[in-house]
Amino acid sequence: MKNIYLAGAAAVALSIGAVAYASQPAFSPRSDTYKQLELFGNVLAIVQQDYVVPVDSKKLINAALEGMLGSLDPHSNYLSDDDYNDLKEKTRGSYGGIGLEVTSEDGAVKVVTPIDDTPAQKAGIQSGDYITAIDGTSILGLPLNDAITKMKGDPNTKLIVTIVRTGKTEPFDVPLTREIIVVKSVKTRMEGDYGYLRIASFSETTANDTKTQLADLMAKNPKMKGLVLDLRNNPGGLLEQSVGVADLFLDGGEIVSQRGRDPKDIIRYQAKKGDMLNGKPIVVLTNPGTASAAEIVSGALQDQKRATIVGLTTFGKGSVQSVIDLGDNRAVKLTTARYYTPSGRSIQKTGIEPDLEVAQSKEQAKYIATSAMQYTEAAYGNALNADEGKARRSAHAVQEVPPEDFDTKTGDFELTRALDVLKYNGDVKLAAAHPRGAKLADADLVDKPGAKFDAKAKAATPAGTVSGASSSSASSSSSSSSSASSSSAEKK
């Protein structure tokens, strides 16, 4: 019998994690445990006998198992037949659905990240969105796995998801058509003289695909001067695959260590000789959607001084889950270890901070500057504690944001700054000393007191009127100006 070890981003069956295998442990229940089990049996019998309608004992027991494991931490849970199949589909890299990584938060389904080139991503669903209804039926309070089942289905079938998004005053519907989701975890292209490698997740073939595609890119571009490794919104994946990817760029040394409850229970993963890029500079792009297995790669390359990190602080999931096969296509996903970067740091709750902090937009920078509780591992009430004395960096002004003349709809400012670092041969200090953008001023980050009220009052003022005494020419001017504004708005 085998166990699977996971280090994924989200507390759901759709999140994969870092996966390995081990033997099922032996255990000996204590007498007090027997008493509690007897109590459980008594309660179950009462429900079966006296509940107002007949109940399915299997569903009750499954719910009890899910509740027990879910109370431990956000990433431990019970996998029934369907859930276990979902997990295995995910690690294989294909399934039928809309292409979302999701988690459960206070009875709601929250989007961890949309998967690249899927219906959800193409429709504009974003990390941090809440899904409150499917096909007009509320899913609030529905078990996460049931909500996931509703989103999955045969290709070419349609559904409508209702989204609640921070910054939007009203929920809105997004129509989608299901597809066979084949997760293309690796993409490459050239950005001028530099290679660009995007890894969307770590599935069963990611390390090999990365090696193959990068070798092909280098063969076609023998004068390639460096590489951008894009791990933004990568929710994690198989541990062995993240180790394999990091190994491609290291010429030896530790990649990550895995430490269990017993202080002696330590597994160290070492890089082999041979750096595919032969020392050419690397920049890794990260953001709060960069999690777990993706953080293993980021942390290894940063600690080994092999790469510079550009972007935003990562999610902060520093734990490994074991998926223990129970037979009959059922399993337990249980947090069994923490992982540590080569320098010995745990990033649990804190994340990996970039060497050059760059926001993709002013809106993103404002969120980081004003939101006390962002969507990260630290936001989970039952997350494992961080190392003693450590805490995630609180709300703050981002080091650099796009300048006024940068088109954030068509351009990628974080990628632009990553390429700048490569142009300085990987010297992030030189790139920081020559910023393309600048910090937002405090006045830009936080609305002035009463600003929202003033805006609403102005919007409520009839066109052509001004407060206080005014001349007819002033009214005329105001009316003319208002008409021009209306015309402009209609064109938009």
Pairing of strands 227-230, 186-191: unpaired
Report how far residue 185's alpha carbon sits from residue 115's, in angstroms, rounded to the nearest whole number: 9
Report how far residue 308's alpha carbon sits from residue 263's, in angstroms, rounded to the nearest whole number: 32
Pairing of strands 158-164, 172-177: antiparallel
Does residue 303 carry a catalytic annotation? Answer: yes
Candidates 73, 83, 247, 303; catalytic one: 303
Return the structure tokens found at 357.
Answer: 């902090």
Return the structure tokens found at 325.
Answer: 């096969």
Report how far residue 217's alpha carbon sits from residue 209's, in angstroms, rounded to the nearest whole number: 12
* Amino acid of residue 449: P
Helix intervals (H) in 424-471: 428-433, 442-445, 451-460
Return the structure tokens found at 173.
Answer: 């519907």
Residue given tokens 């993240």 in the structure block: 242
Report how far residue 348's alpha carbon sits from residue 345's, in angstroms, rounded to the nearest whole number: 9
Dihedral sign for Cα atoms in the order 220, 221, 223, 228: negative
* Nearby residues of 430 by Cβ (< 8 Å), 6 or more positions away: 424
Cβ atoms within 10 Å, residue 369: 19
Cβ atoms within 10 Å, residue 436: 15
Candidates 104, 127, 292, 322; catalytic one: 292
Number of helices followed by number of strands (H, E) in the chain: 14, 21
Q: Quick check: 115 and 201 in contact, CB under 8 A?
A: yes
Report how far residue 427's alpha carbon sits from residue 282's, in angstroms, rounded to the nearest whole number: 10
Candidates 90, 110, 152, 317; catalytic one: 317
Does residue 292 carry a catalytic annotation? Answer: yes
Question: How far is CA 230 from each of CA 83, 119, 179, 333, 483, rounded to the nearest angstrom?
Answer: 30, 21, 25, 28, 46
Report how far residue 452's alpha carbon sits from residue 407's, in angstroms, rounded to the nearest whole number: 26
Report how far residue 256's alpha carbon sits from residue 246's, in angstroms, rounded to the nearest whole number: 10
Catalytic machinery residues: 292, 303, 317
